[in-house]
Amino acid sequence: MIWLEFAIMQRALIGCVLAGFLMGLIGVFVVRMRLSAIGYSMSHGAFAGAALGVATATNPLATGLLFASGTALVIGPIADKARLHADTITSIVFPLNMALAFVFLTLAPEVGLSSQVANVLWGSIISMTNSDLLYLTTLFAVTLAVVYFVWKELFAIMFNRKLAEADGINTKPFVYLIIFLAGVVITFSLKLVGGLLIYALLFNPASTVLQFSENMRKVVIASPLVGMATTVTGLFVSLFFDLPVGSCIVIVSTIVFGVALLLSPKRRRKEENEK
Partner 1 sequence: MPEKAIITMENVSTVYEGESRPAIKGINLTINQNELVYVVGPNASGKTTLLETVNGLLPPFKGKVTVFGLDIQKNGKKIRCQIGYVPQDFMVKPGEPYRAIDVVLMGRYGHIGFLKQPTEEDKQKALDAMKLIGIEDLADRPMGKLSGGQQQKVMLARALAKKPKILLLDEPFSNLDPDSRGQIPLLITKLHDEQDLTTMIVTHDIHHMLEHCNRVIVVTGGKVTFDGTPEQALPLVENHPHTTSLKEEHHH
**Interaction site with partner 1 (CB under 8 A):** 81-83, 149-153, 155-156, 159-160, 162-170, 210, 213-216, 218-219, 266, 269-270, 273
CB of 146 to partner 1, least distance (A): 11
Q: Which is nearer to partner 1, 52 or 210 (CB)?
A: 210
Q: Which is nearer to partner 1, 77 or 112 (CB)?
A: 77
CB of 175 to partner 1, least distance (A): 15
CA torsion angle for 73, 17, 253, 177 (degrees, to 10)? -20
CB of 160 to partner 1, least distance (A): 8
- Beta-carbon contacts of 20 under 8 Å, excluding residues fewer than 6 positions away, are 201, 205, 224, 227, 228, 229, 230, 231, 232, 249
Q: Which is nearer to partner 1, 83 or 99 (CB)?
A: 83
Q: Which is nearer to partner 1, 109 or 168 (CB)?
A: 168
Length of the chain: 275
CB of 214 to partner 1, least distance (A): 4
Collect contacts of 263-272 with beta carbons under 8 A, ≥24 apart: 263/211, 263/212, 264/211, 264/212, 265/212, 266/211, 266/212, 266/214, 267/211
CB of 62 to partner 1, least distance (A): 31
Separate counts of helices (H) and strands (E) for the chain:
13, 0
Q: Which is nearer to partner 1, 92 or 267 (CB)?
A: 267
